[in-house]
Structure 1
Amino acid sequence: MCGLRFGPPRPQLPLQRSPQLMHLQGLARTLKLQGGHVGGALESMKVPLAFIGWYVLSIVYSLLNKEVLNVWQFPVVFSAVQLLVGALWIGALWMPLPTFGLKARRFAPVREPPRLTRAELSQVSIVALWLALGHVLSTVSPAYGTVAFTNVVKTLEPLFTCFFSAIFLKQVFSVPVYLSLVPVIFGVALASANEVSFSMISLISGLLSNVCFALRAISAKRVMGKKVGDNLDAQNLYGVLTIVALVAIVPLALLAEGRTIVAGTLATVEKVGLQRFLRMLLYSGLSHYTYNECAFLALDSIHPVTHAVANTIKRVAVIVLSVLYFRNPLTLTGALGSAIAIVGVMLYSIAKATDKPPPTTLATAAKGRPSSRSEPKKRV
């Protein structure tokens, strides 16, 4: 097995328990006896807390991301730093820590690490590669444009998802799903034509990030259709993807910006100060990783239609707050185009979620065979 699990610690002599430790253990046993009440309360709060974390941390990340890019013009290296912070975070959660007698094991991690074979890691690496490229391009886009414009361009991701689903998965959706993409395309075109701070680099980077994230979704669907690894739930899967994506991005970052990174970083430190600069990098990386984890938890526990509405409201909040925070100029026509695109995305998500028959494959349609409607749909 080529796993990500840390090895077991060396056996140690039992430690003499202090009165404080015995009190802590007694409190833990009391909570365990009342687990029906405490566990139920925590479980009922999981989804609302995940929603709050998803919304708040997503907005915080968008603002911090742009603040760093305003003073440190190295988006490729910055994307690698964000993944590095996330990798260190998930590594700390997987590391065995002393349990002080609260668990059966003397040392146990906060979260059980996954275990993968080399073949399974190779399958997951395909998803991580598209994640890495998409993350880099998503960081490059706001570096040359505004946060609001980047979010408007990223509403076109469903268009590429439908396109690649038809090519690679042979899936054809219903007519309302495709019709809902029309206002998205029109809205993005209208917003782009009237964007005061328009940047071709920002537009192309945003569009290419949509391509990468659409291909990531397609490849993830293929991987998740099989049993891959042990302890590989949604949160651990994102942790593995983060680590592999970091390994893929580092050579690209050094190749693209390695020649000027030292001089540019020294100039930034001289301008904003070393402590503030390090805090900006740390907070940006932590907010990026934790908001994605909260999104996994929130979206895994709600109906797809609720997901569509919630995701639309979140995108509106990011756009509006970024415009107010950075005081970016926004024309009335640009705002109208952004609104049309966002409403189109919500209509697309609702149409896709309420489309009860499973997608008809092009292969079965060509052969004249009926689609297998009796088979349950797999949720990715």
Structure 2
Amino acid sequence: MGRLFTIGLITAWYSSNIGVLLLNKFLLSNYGFRYPIFLTLCHMLACSVFSYVAVSWLKIAPLQGIRSRLQLVKISALGLIFCLSVVGGNVSLRYLPVSFNQAVGATTPFFTAVFAYLMTRKREGWITYLTLIPVVTGVIIASGGEPLFHLFGFIMCISATAARALKSVLQGILLYSEGEKLHSMNLLMYMAPVAVLFLLPAALIMEEGVIGITIALARDDLKFFFYLLFNSALAYFVNLTNFLITKHTSPLTLQVLGNAKGAVAVVISILIFRNPVSLTGMLGYTVTVFGVIFYNEAKKRSM
């Protein structure tokens, strides 16, 4: 039963991760709903509601309160970076195929190592830094061989990846100390409403009339409403299943599954969206994935 439960969790994590990615691409690119900030706002609203229900009512994690005004400021800073990373990723999906988006996203370890050194002066072993070479080289190769390369989409994808890495480093600095350590589900419960506060005025100003357009689309096509609702719920379940897999297995298992998830997402997206992929692009992505695997292995051995 324990093994079946773990397999079920992994299946749910893969489904929610890949599902939200493909649905984002479908809505923002194929469906023509060109409002990535509002889409991110819907995600954060769902995370706010579901997080509160999961922690306060279902007791999935012990409820923790905010201990000080300083801690609230730190959570707000993390919330801002978090929503910037999600918005950047969603914007990039308007212009880039999922396969290339995943290739760029795989460079997260590179940015994490850079920010960790700049902000904490934490040095890794030379072998760990050496493994980052194929991580970056692979993306350079993939960029040169991407038939649907778009410079603005590429910049937004790189920015989102860097913001995601910065969030993880800041989270370690700001909230993992003994006095301020927050459970990951509590952190999401507090960060998501902060992200909503940042995203709401941004959507209203930068995507003028988006609420009226969304309501009109939902009236004309009821499927659009269910797409948006399901997509927002999946955005929360990505975080929930992430936490549950870490709890019932280990962070290392999650890393290994994450490496494989990227490859699976690439294959599924190519089959669904039929975007052209060159041999050079696939070679670049493969080099990056192997670089990430070697990086994780080097990190494990240095602990």
Equivalent in the alignment of 2:10: 51
Q: CA deviation at 1:168?
A: 0.6
**Map of 1:326 onto structure 2:** 273
2:21 is aligned, of 62, 65, 74, to 62
Equivalence map 1:192-231=2 (5 Å):
192-222=143-173, 223-228=175-180
Partner of 1:18: none
Q: 1:77 matched to which residue of 2?
A: 38
Q: Considering Cα pairs closer than 8 Å and 6+ residues apart, tell me whether 1 or 2 has the greater RCO.
A: 2
8 Å contact from structure 1 (residues 94, 110) kept in 2: yes
Measured against aligned partners, the alpha-carbon deviations of 1:275-298 in whole angstroms (never above 9, x if no partner) come to: 211111111111111112211221
Aligned AA (2:73): S
The alpha-carbon distance between structure 1 residues 171 and 256, as it changes in their structure 2 partners (threshold 3 A), is: same
CA distance in 2, matches of 1:57, 1:110: 20
Output the aligned Cα RMSD.
2.1
Structure ID, larger Rg? 1
Aligned 1:274-313 pairs, distance under 5 A: 275-313=222-260
Map residues 234-313 of structure 1 onto 2, 5 A cutoff: 234-257=184-207, 259-262=208-211, 264-265=213-214, 268-269=217-218, 273=221, 275-313=222-260
Shift of 1:269: 4.3
Question: 1:110 corresponds to which letter in structure 2?
Answer: L
Secondary structure of residue in 2 paired with 1:320: helix
- Residue 299 (structure 2) aligns with: 352
Distance 1:238 1:49, change over 3 A: farther
8 Å CA contact 1:192–1:334 kept in 2: the answer is yes
> What residue ranges of structure 2 are gaps of 5+ in the alignment?
none
Change (3 A) 1:288 1:66: same
May I ask how many residue pairs the two structures share in their alignment? 297
Distance in 1 between residues matched to 2:228 and 2:215, nearest whole Å: 15
The answer to whether the aligner puts 1:149 opposite 2:100 as a matched pair is yes
Q: Share of identical aligned residues, percent?
A: 27
Residue by residue over 1:178-220, the C-alpha shift from the partner in whole angstroms, topping out at 9 and shown as x without a partner, is: 1111111111011111111111121101111122111101110
Q: Which amino acid aligns with 2:179?
A: K
Q: Distance in 1 between matches of 2:120 and 2:21?
A: 32
After the TM superposition, which of the residue ranges 233-242 and 109-118 deviates more from structure 2? 109-118
1:110 aligns with 2:78: no
Query: d(CA) in 1 for partners of 2:138 and 2:163?
Result: 21
Aligned with 2:287 (options 328, 340, 346) = 340
Point out the structure with the larger helix share: 2
Q: Which residue of 2 aligns with 1:88?
A: 49
TM-score, normalised by the number of residues in structure 2: 0.90
What is the aligned partner in structure 1 of residue 115 from structure 2?
A: 164
